Every structure is written in structure tokens, then in C-alpha cells.
Amino acid sequence: ERENHINLPQLENKLAPQLWQLLVKASQAAEQRGWHLYLVGGAVRDLLLSEAATSTLMITDIDLVVDGFHKSADVGAGVELAKALQEIYPQARLDIHGAFQTAALLWHKDPELDSLWVDIATARTEFYPYPAANPEVEASSIRQDLYRRDFTINALALRLTSPRAGELMDFFGGLLDLQAKQIRVLHANSFIEDPTRIFRGVRFAVRFGFQIEAQTARYINYAIHSGVYDRTSQENSRTPALQTRLKAELKHILEAPYWLSALQLLEQLGALKCIHHDLQLDGRLLRKLRLLERCLHKFAIQETLIPWQISLEVLIAHLDGKYREKVAKNLQLPDDSITRLKKLSQTTSEVIELLPNCQFPSQIVNLLRTYDLETLILIALEGSCLIRKQIWKYLTTWANIQPLLNGNDLKQLGYKPGPQYRKMLDDLLAATLDAVIQNREEAEGFLAQHYPR
Ligand code: ATP
């Protein structure tokens, strides 16, 4: 363990005042009970990374570990501490996971704390009293907690309680790795234990501009060659939790500005196999993803479109048709997404076959309006340049064109309301799209000609 210390006033300067107050209150509550409280995980890492910078850290997610013995064997110290904090902050929501291990406090758009999520875990799992002032017992229990974590840079703990408040507990060389800009796992089995850590490692590497340390890269390689992807990519009800985490990591990556670089690194490491054995980021897929990126800028305003999800669908759509549905189900995508991928081979060939026969914009609109936006994007990425241009033109222009007259206008013109209104409006729309008519006057003339009263 390297001895290190962080100036707590320095930490105070980095955090929003309300957040700092929360940590002070949590520490007091722990101290009153004779417990130790640590800040762990991403917040410590980000704090150390930002040491040079002076700006306030935007921390919205805090992980705390409390090390203490609770007199009742049914409640963990973390849960009790969370309850104590909720009394001070009644507006926070308290979630308790597992019998006694962890609790989460959530401030959802609170005027003071905004959106904040505080996880409180219990380090000690043995339920016998120990001398509170025994530093050996104490070090071993926080060490144990940190040892379960993914990378050295995420396995640093900052002690918040006195004595020695501000002490940085660095059992695994996390500080050196931060300085050397390296992502390093804590032990050889880490990726076998949890293959989603491969995706986490890539995410941190690309996000911070770090390297995956050489031995860690070999462990990843070993894990992939020994077939961890069987556990992540097979339809397998025994590991739904693993699939849920994989999906969460994919979402994290695909939502980030660096998603394309992250996918490239995953490909280099052979880790895309965890989605499906055949998935490869080849030139064709790369091209589709780049096109998608451009198209997302255009369509991101559409509320229904979830950019990370369509990116994931593009990855899945790159697989042979017979695997798509299974992979989508496996990753627990929503039903509409599963259906879309299941039918994609068929819809793609329909559109690719019929679209070139359409001569007028109105024919294109008639054909394409039966498909949802996501399907059209997937088909456009698959199709030729011509197909893509027509789909883009449809999505950006033609789909938004309205007939020059509406139902009210028809009524005022003296047409009797009825089912034929639909047909009249459709005809008007087609004539508008095809530039047969350009204004209301021409529209009325068009009606007079085709629908004499
Ligand atoms: P971010 O800034 O992206 O939220 P984070 O490090 O806070 O980064 P979380 O996903 O919130 O990421 O995880 C919090 C902490 O929990 C991590 O720092 C890590 O110590 C631990 N952790 C999360 N997921 C895993 C995992 N799959 N295996 C081991 N430890 C994990």
C-alpha cells in the first residue's frame, strides 16, 4: 500500500457545496457509530485525474463504502448509514438491494442536489465485533472490497472519517497507473469472472486516452480465446444478469462521443465476439456506422429515435439474417426492435426491389410510409447509393409534405364529408408531391377536375 494523502479542503473545492455537505454529514454519521467511511470508484479516480484542473467536478454518481460492524445481524452498516442520511435528507429516495449489503440514495432533480445517486456498500461481511481501533482488520476489509473491483484506477479509496481523514488507500498501484495512463486489472481471472469488464476497460481507455496495459490485454485475449463469449452471446437464461450488464456497457459506449474508436478497440481485442461470434468490424460495417453517424445528426430530433439503440441495431443487422433475432433477444432489446431485426431481411429485399420501380415522389412515399424510421435507416445503410439517396430524400423532405388542402377545406368547398375524403386527400398529396399542383388555387382546380360535384 502506498501512503498517500489528499487534502480534504482541496476535495471540498472540487465538489459542488451541497455534495460536500452530504459527504460531511455521512462521515459524521459514520464516526458517531465508530465506523469508517470511504469514497471509492469513479469519483476518486476523476478527482485525481482533475487534480491539475481547477474547475468544479460534475459528479453525479458517488460510491461510498462503509466499514463497520452492526449490532444487528440483519442490517448492514451501509444500509443503516443510508437510513440515517435519509432522515437528514427526506427528499431522497432510498433503495435497498440485497439483505444487508448495499443501499442507494437518489435525488431526482432535487433543487439542491439535482440528480445525484449515492451508492453505499458495506465492506464487512463477517458479523462479529472487532476492536474499532484495529487498523489491520480495518485495512483488510476495505482491501477486500476494493479487490472485487474492475481496474486499479477504480480501486482507490479515499478515507472520509477521522482519524487519518484524507488518506488515499491504494493497494494495487492505481495511482501509478493513473500517472502512467494505464488500464490494468487486479487479477488474472478478472475477465473470466466478468467479461463485461472488457467493455468497461475499453470504455475507460478510449475516454481517458489511456492504454490497456500489456498484461491486461493478454488476459482479455485469453478470456476471449477460452470462450467467455459463449456466456455473453448465447441465449441462455442462466446468465440474464450478465446480458443486462453487457447491454448497459454497450449503451454506455454507444452513447459516448468516442463510440466509434471504442468499437475499433473492441474489434482489435476480438471482443465483439461477446455480442456474437461472427461479429466483425470490417470495412463495410465501419462504412455503415460512419453513414449512421451522419444520419443521426439529421434525425436525432425525432423523439422516437434512440441513437445508441439504432447503433446497436446496425451492429446486429450486420450479422447473417438467421442470427439477428436471437442476438436482439439475448441483449434484451425492446420488442419493436426485435421484430424489426427479425423482419429486416425481408423488408430490405422488398424495398431494394420495389424502390427502383418508383418513378414519382408520390410512389416512393406510398412505398416507404409503411415502414418505421428505424427500419428505413437500417435499409438505407444496407442499400446502394441510389436507394440511400431516395430514403434520405423521403425522410428529410417528402415525408413532411402535407396536402395543400385539408378536410375542413373540402367541406367548405361543398364536398359531403365521408370516406371519400381520405382518397381525395391522398390524391391531393400525391399531386402536391409530384408538383402537379403548387398552390391552393391549383388544388381546387385539381379537385374540380377529378371530383366533380
Ligand atoms: P463512470 O464515470 O463511467 O460512471 P464509474 O467508475 O463510476 O465510472 P460505475 O459503473 O458507476 O463506473 O461503477 C462504479 C464502481 O464500481 C467502479 O469504479 C468500479 O470500482 C466498480 N465496478 C463497476 N462495475 C464493475 C464490474 N463489472 N466489475 C468490477 N467492478 C465494477
Q: Residue 379: which pLDDT band, with cuts at 50, 70 and 90?
A: very high
Domain assignment present for residue 74? The answer is: yes
Q: Check residue 236 and give its pLDDT.
A: 54
Domain residues for the domain of 443 are: 407-450
Q: Of 72-81, 364-373, 394-403, give the range with the top mean pLDDT.
A: 364-373
Per-residue pLDDT of 237-280, as tens digits, reads: 556 688 889 999 999 999 999 999 999 999 999 999 999 999 99
Q: Residue 128: which pLDDT band, with cuts at 50, 70 and 90?
A: very low
Q: Check residue 449 and give its pLDDT.
A: 92
Backbone angles phi, psi at 154, to 5 degrees: -100, 5
Task: Compute CA distances 73 → 37, 102, 137, whole Å.
Answer: 19, 14, 19
User: Looking at ligand 1, which residue's alpha carbon is closest to its atom 4?
Assistant: 42
Domain assignment present for residue 77? The answer is: yes
Between the CA of 63 and the centroid of ligand 1 the distance, in Å, is 9
CA distance 245 to 309: 15
For residues 259 and 195, membership in a common domain is answered with: yes
* Sign of the alpha-carbon dihedral angle for 255, 257, 263, 265: negative
For residues 198 and 268, membership in a common domain is answered with: yes
Higher pLDDT, 296 or 351: 351
Q: Residue 50: which pLDDT band, with cuts at 50, 70 and 90?
A: confident
Q: Residue 82: which pLDDT band, with cuts at 50, 70 and 90?
A: very high
Domain assignment present for residue 294? The answer is: no
Nearest residue to 36 (alpha-carbon basis) of 68, 5, 1:
68
How is residue 264 written as a grid cell? 475499433
Give, for ligand 1, the residue of 102, 116, 149 to mutate: max count of ligand atoms closer than 8 Å to Cβ.
149
Between the CA of 154 and the centroid of ligand 1 the distance, in Å, is 7
Domain assignment present for residue 267? The answer is: yes
The CATH number covering residue 216 comes to 1.10.110.30
The CATH number covering residue 101 comes to 3.30.460.10
Task: Compute CA distances 298 → 20, 148, 393, whole Å.
Answer: 41, 43, 12
Map 149-216 to HEC letters.
Answer: CCEHHHCCEEECCCCCCCEEEECCCHHHHHHHCEECECCCCHHHHCCHHHHHHHHHHHHHCCEECHHH
Give, for ligand 1, the residue of 154, 183, 249 to mutate: max count of ligand atoms closer than 8 Å to Cβ.
154
pLDDT at 76 over 50: yes
Between the CA of 71 and the centroid of ligand 1 the distance, in Å, is 30
Pocket around ligand 1 at a 6 A CB cut-off: 41-42, 61, 63, 149-150, 154, 194, 196-197, 200
Higher pLDDT, 131 or 124: 124
User: Looking at ligand 1, which residue's alpha carbon is closest to its atom 17?
Assistant: 41
For residues 98 and 237, membership in a common domain is answered with: no
Helices 420-433, 361-368: crossing angle, 10 deg rounding: 130
Q: Check residue 135 and give its pLDDT.
A: 56
* Cβ atoms of 197 and 191 closer than 8 Å: yes
Give the Cα-Cα-Cα angle 56, 58, 63 (nearest 5 degrees). Answer: 115
Q: Check residue 159 and give its pLDDT.
A: 95
Between the CA of 41 and the centroid of ligand 1 the distance, in Å, is 6
pLDDT at 304 over 50: yes
Distance separating the N- and C-terminal Cα atoms of the chain: 92
Indicate the number of domains in the chain.
Answer: 3
For residues 76 and 219, membership in a common domain is answered with: no
How is residue 433 written as a grid cell? 408531391
CA distance 371 to 387: 15
User: Looking at ligand 1, which residue's alpha carbon is closest to its atom 1?
Assistant: 42
Q: Residue 229: which pLDDT band, with cuts at 50, 70 and 90?
A: confident
For residues 128 and 151, membership in a common domain is answered with: yes
* % of the chain surpassing 70 pLDDT: 90
User: Looking at ligand 1, which residue's alpha carbon is closest to its atom 14?
Assistant: 41
Domain assignment present for residue 190? The answer is: yes
Q: Residue 1: which pLDDT band, with cuts at 50, 70 and 90?
A: very low
Predicted TM-score of the model (pTM): 0.88
pLDDT at 91 over 70: yes
Q: Which amino acid is at 332?
A: Q
For residues 35 and 139, membership in a common domain is answered with: yes
Backbone angles phi, psi at 105, to 5 degrees: -110, 130
Between the CA of 288 and the centroid of ligand 1 the distance, in Å, is 31
| Cβ neighbours of residue 301 closer than 8 Å, sequence gap 6 or more | none
pLDDT at 2 over 60: no
User: Which atom of ligand 1 lies nearest, measured to the CA of 196?
Assistant: 27
Nearest residue to 71 (alpha-carbon basis) of 100, 28, 102:
100
User: Looking at ligand 1, which residue's alpha carbon is closest to its atom 15?
Assistant: 41
User: Which atom of ligand 1 lies nearest, measured to the CA of 43?
Assistant: 7
**Mean of the per-residue pLDDT values for the chain?**
88
Give, for ligand 1, the residue of 48, 117, 150, 246 to mutate: max count of ligand atoms closer than 8 Å to Cβ.
150
For residues 158 and 250, membership in a common domain is answered with: no
Out of 144, 172, 200, pick the residue that ends a domain: 172
Q: Residue 127: which pLDDT band, with cuts at 50, 70 and 90?
A: very low
Q: Residue 234: which pLDDT band, with cuts at 50, 70 and 90?
A: low
Out of 241, 261, 281, pick the residue that ends a domain: 281
Task: Compute CA distances 430 → 2, 350, 400, 427, whole Å.
Answer: 75, 22, 13, 5
Q: Check residue 93 and give its pLDDT.
A: 92
Between the CA of 53 and the centroid of ligand 1 the distance, in Å, is 23
For residues 138 and 273, membership in a common domain is answered with: no
Domain assignment present for residue 392? The answer is: no
Q: Residue 235: which pLDDT band, with cuts at 50, 70 and 90?
A: low
For residues 117 and 145, membership in a common domain is answered with: yes
Give, for ligand 1, the residue of 44, 63, 101, 203 to mutate: max count of ligand atoms closer than 8 Å to Cβ.
63
pLDDT at 428 over 90: yes
Between the CA of 36 and the centroid of ligand 1 the distance, in Å, is 21
The residue to which cell 427500419 is assigned: 375
Per-residue pLDDT of 336-369, as tens digits, reads: 999 999 999 999 999 999 999 999 999 999 999 9
For residues 40 and 137, membership in a common domain is answered with: yes
Out of 172, 190, 209, pick the residue that ends a domain: 172
DSSP-assigned beta bridge partners for residue 393: none
Q: What is the ipTM of this complex?
A: 0.98
Give, for ligand 1, the residue of 40, 61, 206 to mutate: max count of ligand atoms closer than 8 Å to Cβ.
61
Domain assignment present for residue 220? The answer is: yes
For residues 46 and 122, membership in a common domain is answered with: yes
Between the CA of 61 and the centroid of ligand 1 the distance, in Å, is 10
pLDDT at 129 over 70: no
For residues 121 and 194, membership in a common domain is answered with: no
Domain assignment present for residue 290? The answer is: no
Higher pLDDT, 109 or 289: 289
Between the CA of 426 and the centroid of ligand 1 the distance, in Å, is 54
DSSP 102: E
Rounded average pLDDT over 197-217: 97
Q: Which amino acid is at 345?
A: S
